[in-house]
C-alpha cells in the first residue's frame, strides 16, 4: 500500500467561512472526506492534517520522510516565507505536489513567489477544492515512484 500525507497550512481550517467568494464554500472537513474516499479507491494509506503552526507541518513532513510517503501540501501562507518548510520538503523521497485553491499567479504580488513549490514535483492551483483530488490522481497515474526507487530521489527541483 502506498502512503500519502495531505498537509494543510494556516487558516485552511476556516475554509467555507473565510472569504467564500475567493476560496469557495467547501470546508476542509469536506475535502478530507472526499480525499479519504478517493484514497480508499486508490489503495492509499492516507494521513490528512491541518495546522496553523509551522513546526507541526515540518514534523508531519519528517514523518512522511520516515514513512516513505508522498506528500500533497497546501502550505497556505507559509508558501511564500518558510525556508524551514522548504528544507523539510526537499527531504521527501517520494513526489511532493503543492496545491492552492486559487490561481496564486492571478492574485496580489505577495502570493506569487512560491518558495515551497521549488521543492515540489508538481504544482496545481486555481481549481478550488478539486486540486486535492487532481493531485491524488496525478500521483497515482504518473509520477509516483516505488519505495527505494532511484527515480524518487531524482524527482525534485532544487533552488
Decide: 73 and 30 in contact? Cβ < 8 Å: no
Is-catalytic flag, 100? yes
Which is catalytic among the residues 23, 62, 132, 156? 23
**139 Cβ partners below 8 Å, 6+ apart?**
4, 70, 72, 95, 97
- Catalytic residue status for 23: yes
5, 64 Cβ separation under 8 angstroms: yes
Residue 79 to residue 96: CA distance in whole angstroms: 14
Q: Is 19 helix (H, G, I), strand (E, B) or coil?
A: coil
Q: How far apart are alpha carbons 71 and 31 in whole angstroms?
A: 16
91 contacts 68 by C-beta, under 8 angstroms? no
Q: Residue ranges for the binding site? A: 74, 87, 101-102
Binding site as annotated, residues for substrate:
74, 87, 101-102
Instruction: Choose the catalytic residue: 62, 86, 100, 156.
Output: 100
Catalytic residues: 23, 100
Amino acid at each position: 500500500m502506498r502512503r500519502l500525507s495531505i498537509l494543510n497550512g494556516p487558516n485552511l481550517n476556516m475554509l467555507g467561512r473565510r472569504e467564500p467568494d475567493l476560496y469557495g464554500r467547501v470546508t476542509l472537513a469536506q475535502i478530507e472526506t472526499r480525499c479519504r474516499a478517493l484514497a480508499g479507491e486508490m489503495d492509499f494509506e492516507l494521513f490528512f492534517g491541518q495546522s496553523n503552526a509551522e513546526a507541526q507541518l515540518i514534523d508531519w513532513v519528517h514523518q512522511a520522510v520516515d514513512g516513505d510517503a508522498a506528500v500533497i501540501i497546501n502550505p497556505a501562507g507559509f508558501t511564500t516565507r518558510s525556508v524551514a518548510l522548504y528544507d523539510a520538503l526537499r527531504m521527501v523521497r517520494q513526489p511532493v505536489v503543492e496545491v492552492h485553491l486559487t490561481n496564486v499567479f492571478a492574485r496580489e504580488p505577495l502570493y506569487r513567489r512560491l518558495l515551497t513549490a521549488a521543492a515540489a514535483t508538481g504544482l496545481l492551483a486555481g481549481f478550488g477544492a478539486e486540486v486535492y483530488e487532481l493531485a491524488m490522481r496525478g500521483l497515482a497515474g504518473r509520477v509516483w515512484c516505488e519505495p527505494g526507487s532511484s527515480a524518487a530521489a531524482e524527482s525534485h527541483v532544487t533552488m
